[in-house]
Amino acid sequence: MLSGLARAAALRLGAPCARWLGSRAGVPAHVVDLRSDTVTRPGPAMRRAMAEAVVGDDDYGEDPTVRELQERAAQLLGVEQTLFVPTNTMANLICVMGHCRRRGSQLLLGQECHLHVYEQGGVAQIAGVHSHLLPDLPHGTLDLDELERVITRGLGNPYHPVCELVCLENTHSSSGGRVLPIDYLRQVHLLAQSHGARVHLDGARLMNAAVALRVPPARIVEHCDSVSFCLSKGLGAPVGALVGGPKDFIQEAWRLRKALGGGMRQAGVLAAAALVGLAEAEEELSRDHENARRFARGLQALASPHCSVNPAAVETNMVLVKVVGLPAADLCQRLQAVSPDEVAQTGHAVRVLLFPWTEQSVRAVWHRDVSTQDTELALRKWEFVLRQLGP
């Protein structure tokens, strides 16, 4: 994984996501932004829904659009209730705080998961929770024997922290958007339950997992005690996430949201966009997954010695590309630059925006602002850059 500084430098690499930007090559440059599915901007239907949303004070439970979103999402996720919160980071923290009720209780999670790596250790800073990390296997799963060993190690022993929670992430971002098998979720849940622990699912991209497995999201969530669900990634809403779980858990989640500063008043303006995102999710995400697969197959067909990709590992909207012979950051810079040579050879000026994921890999993420045609243009740009690098 990149250091914070390298990631900040990579962020600066990325231009604002205008579709067409001026270029020194003399023609406007077309931008294909594959940095993340968080970069989408609300389209006309979402903006209209936001403008027309009926709102009220959500802190008094009086915003009908927030209520509609929460009820619709509860049905979709197969949980008793959901709560609208500003971000998936807050949703995760609320869930950890809701489950881990004693100071110093133990949370088991994968060492590369978002909750551990990118959420500033909020569970320690704010919740006083002690994380125990387990290695992530290549498919984004944890080794069940190791999980059992760690859960049971301290049972009844006053020297050890008490394990109260296991957190899983689905889809699993750092493994390239892999989908956790439902039977694995069932086994983790059984294991946790049999030792008095609960399971929280970071479902920032749960909908991608459900679309890939062709099951309703509720089939996945039934094996968890709580779920977070992001509205501002593949679903394309500008802001927002949901916490899902049993009624008493969501009542406590409401209290925790308040303590974390998150009562949102006329939040129906935001919930309206999320409702549009939810309604369109299946179609949009299926297209993103297909574009990601198309890109991976196309890149593999280029057979470049400078990069390798495994199309069989592309299960959702992400493609992990291994970079060989140059730093991943250099490759990203070349993919973003445009030159007269590119225009002369390909007839296009295309800026492909990407993050180096590690020193030797790049993660490309598809979303609703990247069309099939954009995917083809991105592939042609990779071809041009790889050809310039030579054998």
Ligand X SMILES: Cc1ncc(COP(=O)(O)O)c(C=O)c1O
Q: Which residues lie near ligand X (CB under 6 A)?
A: 38, 87-89, 114, 169, 173, 202, 204, 230, 232, 241
What 3-state DSSP class applies to 43? coil
Quick one: 230 or 377, whose CB is closer to ligand X? 230
Label the pairing between strands 163-169 and 106-110.
parallel
Closest CB 207 distance from ligand X, rounded Å? 12
Cβ 258 to ligand X, closest distance in Å?
A: 18
For ligand X, the closer of residues 49 and 365 by Cβ is 365
Count of CB atoms within 10 A of residue 160's CB? 11
Q: How far apart (Å, rounded) are the C-alpha atoms in residues 163 and 374?
A: 47
Task: For residue 52, give every residue at least 6 positions away whose Cβ sits within 8 Å of its Cβ, in sequence order, or none.
Answer: 272
Least separation in angstroms between CB 81 and ligand X: 20
130, two tokens: 């002690």
Give 230 or 385: the residue with its C-beta nearer to ligand X.
Answer: 230
Cα–Cα nearest to 31, from 388, 354, 387: 354
The Cα 340–Cα 335 span in angstroms is: 14
Toward ligand X, which CB reaches closer, 93 or 385?
A: 93
For residue 321, the minimal CB distance to ligand X (Å) is 18
Q: In sequence order, what are the residues at sequence separation of 6 or more whose Cβ sits closer than 8 angstroms to the Cβ of residue 44?
A: none
**Cα–Cα distance, 116 to 119 (Å, whole number):** 6
Q: Which amino acid is at 193?
A: Q
Distance separating alpha carbons of residues 35 and 49, to the nearest angstrom: 27
d(CA 75, CA 69): 10
Q: Which is nearer to ligand X, 271 or 350 (CB)?
A: 271
Pick 55 or 113: Cβ nearer ligand X:
113
E strand or H helix at 124, and its extent? helix 122-125
Nearer to ligand X, 119 or 342 (CB): 119
* Closest distance of CB 168 from ligand X, Å: 10
What is the nearest approach in angstroms of ligand X to the Cβ of residue 35? 11
Rounded to a whole number of angstroms, the minimum distance from the CB of residue 5 to ligand X is 19
- Residue 2's contacts (CB-CB under 8 Å, 6 or more residues apart) are 10, 355, 356, 357, 358, 359
